[in-house]
Structures are given as structure tokens and as C-alpha cells.
Amino acid sequence: MSYAGGDSGPATAWRNGSPVYDREGTVCVIGAGPSGLTAMKNLREEGFGVDCYERETGVGGAWNWRHDRSPVYASTHLISSKPFTQFPDFPMPDDWPDYPKHTQVLAYLDHYADHFGLRPHIWFGSEVVRVEPAENDRWDVTTRSTGGYGTERTHRYDAVIVANGHNWSPKLPEFEGLDTFKGEVIHASAYKDAAQLRNRKVLVIGAGNTGCDIAVEAAQQAAKCWHSSRRGYWYAPKFALGRPADQVNDLMLHLKLPLKLRQFIGQKTMKSTVGDLTRFGLPAPDHKLYETHPIANSQLVYYLGHGDITPVPDVKLFHRNSVELKDGQEIEPDLVVMATGYQPVFEFLDPNLLAVDANGRPRLALHAFPKRFPTLAVAGLLQPDSGLFPLVHWQTVAFARLLKLRDSAPGKAASLYRKLESEVDKSWTDAKVKDSSRHWFEISHLTYLKALERLIQEARP
Amino acid sequence: MTVSVVRTKEWAFPVPPAKREVVKATPEVDTGKPPVLFVPGFGHGAWVFTEHWLEHTADRGFPAYAMSLRGHGNSAPAPKADMRAYAHDVAQVAASLPSRAVIVGHGAGALATAHALSRYPAKACVLLAPVFGGIGTALRNPFLCLPALFGAGLRLPAGQLFSREVPQNTARAYARRMGRASGKAQRQLLWGRDPEDPVGDPPILVVGSPDDRIVADNAVRRVARRYGGAPLLFPGMGHDLMLDARWREPIDAILDWLDKAN
């Protein structure tokens, strides 16, 4: 494979004794998942050249089940329905189901890459080693073949957009006695197929969307399924009133109902459709609707009602042959699935660039724009109450417009950046969100999109 | 340019799917030219383009596609469709093509296309004898439009659609094949919303005829002005340029423009 153009001629600069090849007029995109693809498309639409580095050999990122970092399992379906998932300028086929399967999402992303002619700009099998600031707000990006083979190459770019995803680095909680436990312990990222559960006694830890999906599959396949959750949640059905539930929810937003009223109606609807979950032994939710990341799973409640899932509280510690729960109960699973989520990781960036704190939390305006570095952005670092793709689309449109404005109207661009920097610690959720290790990038899609819309309008030349 | 980011109503009420007719003509060799999608107007189906233009476009190296809006041609019936559903059809077909498409919309199909442009970043767009609606268009043809207001079909007599150069038998046969758009969409021609700005900043060409008896000359100019240009006019032709006796001239001009724009 040949490398991005520009390195055939003589190097124009040097860094630590190595040549740096200038890619003037070009923006570097890190990752060819949904966020990277839409970043490329939107940057090209605004007239920028793009070089995208992708460590895998195909597009789709997390949605490509062939990728070793993909968290996708055989039964993965969308949690938000099509209107909230598709890119706003590239509709999914309308004869697809309301909640397409992961293979369809990948087909959609593949088609997106072909339709907009993105593949020739992607350097597959290349991973980014370092991203370092250079003079004039430019960036030196060092890459090499995935797996650390071959030599490193450094290219200088006008801007960098980080789209490396945040659902690939497993977050494993520490439990006392875990290392002495004789059963099998896996993280949800290693869960690929329901066959892994067949005839086993399974404990699923975590009541996020993945945890609920796996608990449901365990109910169908395993000999026994315990589902451990830290607190009571609102388990939203995927369909309400005969329509995808998120579409009903956005009808309330369309009618501009205030949060309190939406919570009231939402909770009433949940009580009348899902019912009282304490009957099944689940704790009652300790918070109002919209105060935690939404969980959409119609089947969990169904299997609770059939006794195929036994809800249990948080795990206290592991013994050699059993697991002790917070309420003193002891259970004996032979497979423990930790559906405890993922942590965002930017291994190629100096943490200071994104002002990352001790908990791994970067300080970014609109969860995308770091302070002091107007030509650097992070795309898709969001945990929305809807689909991610439209949000990343508009994030990257805003970034492309801001970059363009820096050329055409530097003064105006600078004042926009100043305003952005003042919003670095602002949160974009309607309700106050309960604490969790990922709560800081939780957003309410409408509030967040309104902010982006304003930014895009203001970045008009 | 304004951008519509928040679309809660569209998200809450997605357009229902429909079976759509798409006819295709592939060039003999792949020349790397973008696909061209033809969108017929109200009452018209994909067939109006398959008569002459589709093959001609493919002969000139463009993969050519003609579609029928829902309720038209061989697409599924849709008596309750509105303008948004038609625009949705255009965006759906355009997004299904192998690469970024050039969209050529005719008549009221040009309005559906203009709406679709705010939901799909077309490579380029041609608005052909565009019917953007409004009271003016209706007053020009009061006897056709008044009944349509009360739910009847927009009548499209041969004399209005074609120039005198089309043999009368042919013209009458064409006119007999015309269908009708939904009542709601017809009314929306009068007081529907203006299309939002296009996304992706596509080059837009407006083509018309000063002798079009459906769309007035100044209406064509107004549409062209909205998209920042002057219309390309073909005197002596009727509203249905693609079926007229001199059908070659406009399509060749359009394809020349596309060749130059790329």
C-alpha cells in the first residue's frame, strides 16, 4: 500500500530528526467509522481535502463486526429508530424495519462511503501513533501500519478531527475476590453470539442497553440468568402506541412540552404499559424519567414476567465458587458477563491537548471543541438520548464551517471560538443526569442540536 | 443559507414507505459520469422519460434513471400522499443510487426535487419547466386549477403540454396516459411551504420554454433567480419538453452543462 500523497517529494519540515510531509489544504480524519465517514463527507463538501487513517481494513468502525474492536454481537439492533439514526442528508431505505439490525447499519455505512466517493481518501490498515501540534495551528500526525509493523510516517495537516469511537476500550469494575473466582468472566465486548450462553448459569452485570440485551438472550438460551443492576431504572419499550417509542417521545418535544410535563406523561405511560416492575423484584427507579441514559428494551420485562430472568442487586464480592450480592445472597453462576460499558481513550493524543482530567474526562465545548486548539475537534464523543449519526453529522458540519470561516473571516471566527471556549463546562441535558462514569457526555438530542444549529448559522460567512 | 437541524415533526412522523417504479438505462462503458435521476411532474410517470431522454442520456455516458412518484406510473397507489412524501420519494431513490446523483425534476416534480435537495446533497440539479406553485400559476390556468382545489384531478390537455409539432395522435395518446397527483399535494401547490435551502451547495440549472402554456415565463425566471441564475429557454416547445418533437435540444444542453460542471 502506498502512503498519502506528498511524501514522494522532498520533506518540507523536520520533527525530531524525521521528515514531515506537508499536506496543505488537507484535514486529517482519524477513524472511518460513522463519525469519521461523515466528517470526511462534510469536510469535502466545504472544499477541504481529507486523509483518513483507519486501523482496520474496512469502514464502519464499531458497526463492522469483523473488526476486532467491534462491540457488536449477533443480535445487535438499533436502539433509536431510523429517523433518529440516519444521517440527516442520507436517508436509510424506508422499507427497512424501524430498528435495523447491525448488518444493515454496516451496509448503510458502506453505501454512504461509496455514494460519496470516500474510500479513495481512506488509508486502511494504518493506525495513528501520535498527533502533535505544529506551528500556525497545524498538526503533525504520525502513522504506521496497524500492529506496529513498518516505519512511521509523519504528515502535517491543517486540522485534525478525532473520530476514534468510544465503545471499544472495555471498562472493567474491580471486585474483591474476582481473581480467585473459578467461573468464566467476560466483558460484554467478548460476547458475540447467544451460543456462548447455552446451558450455562449466567450472571449479567449491568443494566445498560447491552446488559439488558444479553440478559434477554440468556433468558432464551441459558440454564439460569441473574441480572444484576445497581439501581432501579425505567425500562422503556421499543414500541409505544403502535409506533417506535422515540417517535412518540419526539412528538412531545415537537409540541414543546416542558420537561416536568414530559416526565409526568412519560412516567404515566410507562406505568400503564410496562407496569410496576417491583412486582418482579426489581427496585423502584430512584430517579425521574430522563435522568439516566434511556434503556429501550421491550423483552426484558417480558422475560422477568416469565421468571426467566432473576433480578438481583449489585455484586459485593466474588468467592471461589460463588458470587455474593449486596443483600447477602449467594449465587453460583459459571459465566459472568460484565456489561459495564466502555471508556473513551485517545492513546495518540497528549491528555493536555484535550485538558483530560484524572477521571479521563476531556474538557470540550459541545463535547467536541477543545480550548486553545481551534483546528482540533473530537467527533461523536456523545451519549445521546437518541441516535448518534445525525448529531455527529452536524458536529462535523459545524467544524468544517468554522475552519472555512478561519480563512474567510478570521476575526469573526476568533470571536466564535471565544464564545465556544466560554461554554466548555456547559452540559446539554434537559434533566439533571444521575452520576455514572459516563454521565458527563450524556446529552439530550434536541437541546444539543439547537446549540449546534445556532453555531452553524453563526459560522455563516 | 439557513440550515434546518431540528426536525422533530419529521422524526415523530416519518413518511410511510411505498413501492416506487425506477427505470434504468446503463451506458455501454462506464465513463465515471454521475448518475442522472429524472423525476416526472404531477400526473406524469417514469414513462415520459423512457420515451426519448433516458436512452439518450445513457448513450452520452451517464447512468440514467427515471422514477415515478408514489401514486404515479407503476409506483404504488398513494391517494393521500403530500408534497413531503413526494420529496421523500425523490431523496430515497437518489440515495439508493451508486454515487451522488444529478436530479432532473420536471413540472411540479421540480418542486418535489427542490424540497428533496434540502434532505439530500445532490451532485447537481436541473429544474425543468418548474411548477413552484402559488396563486399566479393557478390564475394562468383557472379552468384547470379550480376543480383541482376541490379534489378533482389537475387536467392536463394535450394542447397545453405539447407544441403543435407533435403529431396530434401522438399528443392525444400521451395525454391519455397521464394520471393525477393526490388532492392534498395539488392543494399544496397553492399554499405549500417554500422549499428550504439545498444542502451541499449543488449547482442548479433552470430550464424552460417561453411558450410553455402551464408555467409562465416569469415564473421560470423567478425560480432561476431564487437559485442565483438565469433560465435556459427553448422557444417553441411545450411544457413536456421531454416528449416534444424537438426533445433532443434541451437534453443535450443539460448534458453539456453537466459535462462542463464536472
ipTM of the complex: 0.94
Return the pLDDT at A2: 38
Are B183 and B151 spatial neighbours (Cβ–Cβ below 8 Å)? yes
User: What residues of chain A lie within 8 A of the CB of B7, using their CB?
Assistant: 88
CB-based contact A91 B92, cutoff 8 Å: yes
Of B12, B88, B98, which is closest to A254 when you measure between CB atoms?
B12
In angstroms, rounded to a whole number, what is the distance separating the alpha carbons of residues A67 and A56?
7
Cell of A360: 479521563
Would you say B251 and B260 are in contact if contact means Cβ atoms under 8 Å apart?
no
pLDDT at A438: 65
Distance CA B38, CA B67 (A): 6
Chain A residues 393-432 with CB within 8 Å of chain B: 394, 397
Going residue by residue through chain A (461 aa), what tens digit of pLDDT does each one get?
334 444 555 677 888 888 999 999 999 999 999 999 999 999 999 999 999 999 999 999 999 999 989 999 999 999 999 999 999 999 999 999 999 999 999 999 999 999 999 999 999 999 999 999 999 999 999 999 998 888 999 999 999 999 999 999 999 999 999 999 999 999 999 999 999 999 999 999 999 999 999 999 999 999 999 999 988 889 999 998 889 999 999 999 999 999 999 999 999 988 888 888 899 989 899 889 988 888 999 999 999 999 999 999 999 999 999 999 999 999 999 999 999 999 999 999 999 999 998 888 899 999 999 999 999 999 999 999 999 999 999 999 999 999 999 999 999 999 999 999 998 888 898 887 776 666 788 899 999 999 999 999 999 87
What is the full DSSP assignment across A48-74? -EEEEEESSSSS-GGG-TTSTT----T
Query: Is the distance from CB of B160 to CB of B238 less than 8 angstroms?
Result: yes
Whole-number pLDDT of residue B2 = 77
A55 backbone φψ class: left, alpha, beta (φ>0; ψ -120 to 50) = alpha
Nearest chain A residue (CA) to B7: A254
Nearest CB to B3; choose among A93, A116, A456: A456
Tell me the three cell numbers of residue A117: 466517493
Q: How far apart are CA A1 and CA A117, in angstroms?
A: 19
Extents of the domains making up chain A: 13-169+343-458, 178-338
Length of chain B, in residues: 262
> What is d(CA A61, CA A68) in angstroms, rounded to the nearest whole number?
10
DSSP state of A310: E
Q: What is the dihedral of CA B36, B21, B10, A100, to 10 degrees?
A: -100
pLDDT tier at B259, thresholds 50, 70, 90:
very high
Min distance A147 CA to chain B CA atoms (Å): 33
Domain A178-338 CATH assignment equals 3.40.50.10140: no
Q: Report the alpha-carbon distance of residue A203 to residue B152 in Å, rounded.
A: 65
Comparing alpha-carbon positions, the chain A residue that sits nearest to B202 is A45
Residue A307, classed as helix, strand or coil, is coil
Q: Which three cell numbers stand for residue A143?
A: 502513522
Integer Rg of chain A from CA: 23
Please, what's the b/e burial string for B7-29 (b: 16 or more CB within 10 A of its CB; e: otherwise)?
Answer: ebebbbebbeebebbbbebeeee
pLDDT in tens, B8-61: 999 999 999 999 999 999 999 998 999 999 999 999 999 999 999 999 999 999
Residue A435: its pLDDT value, please?
64
A-B contacts (CB, under 8 Å): 80
Q: Which CATH superfamily is domain A13-169+343-458 in?
A: FAD/NAD(P)-binding domain (3.50.50.60)
Which chain A residues touch B5 with a CB distance below 8 Å? Answer: 88, 394, 449-450, 452-453, 456
Sorted by sequence, the CB contacts under 8 Å of residue B32 that are 6+ apart come out as none
Query: What pLDDT, on the 0 to 100 scale, is given for residue B128?
Result: 97
A94 to chain B, closest Cα gap in Å: 5
Q: Does B150 touch chain A (CB under 8 A)?
A: no
**CA gap A277, B57 in Å, rounded:** 62
Q: What Å distances lie between residue A355 and A346, A350, A373, A419, A423, CA to CA?
A: 12, 9, 11, 18, 14
| Interface test with chain B among A82, A254, A430, by most B beta carbons within 10 Å | A254
Å between B142 CA and nearest CA of chain A = 37
Q: Does B98 touch chain A (CB under 8 A)?
A: yes
Question: In chain A, which residues have their Cβ closer than 8 Å to the Cβ of B99?
Answer: 114-117
Contact B166/B244 with Cβ under 8 angstroms? yes
- Check if A13-169+343-458 and A178-338 are the same fold: yes
Chain A contact set for B17 (CB, 8 A): 94-95
Q: Which whole number is the average pLDDT over B67-79?
A: 97
Mean pLDDT of chain B, nearest integer: 92
The one-letter amino acid code at A256 reads K
Contact list, B96 vs chain A (CB under 8 Å): 93
Chain A residues close to B115, C-beta within 8 Å: none
Q: Is A250 on the interface with B (CB under 8 A)?
A: yes
Q: How far apart are CA A326 and CA A316, in angstroms?
A: 5
Tell me if chain A has a CB within 8 Å of the CB of B96.
Answer: yes
Which of B6, B9, B13 has the CB atom closest to A446's CB atom? Answer: B6
Q: CA of B73, closest CA in chain A: separation in Å?
A: 20
A95 touches chain B (CB under 8 A): yes
Share of chain B above pLDDT 70, in %: 94
Chain A residue with minimum CA distance to B116 = A89
Once rounded to an integer, what is the mean pLDDT over residues B135-157? 70
pLDDT in tens, B210-241: 999 888 899 999 999 999 889 999 999 999 99
> Pairing mode, if any, of strands A18-30 and A126-133?
unpaired
Nearest to A98 by CA among A85, A111, A88, A87: A85
**Residue-by-residue DSSP string for B138-174:** HHHSHHHHHHHHTTPPPP--HHHHS-TTS-HHHHHHH
Question: Looking at the complex, does the CB of residue A254 fall below 8 Å from at least one CB of chain B?
Answer: yes
Cross-chain residue pair A247–B12, CB shorter than 8 Å? yes
| Domains along the sequence of chain B with CATH | 18-261 (3.40.50.1820)
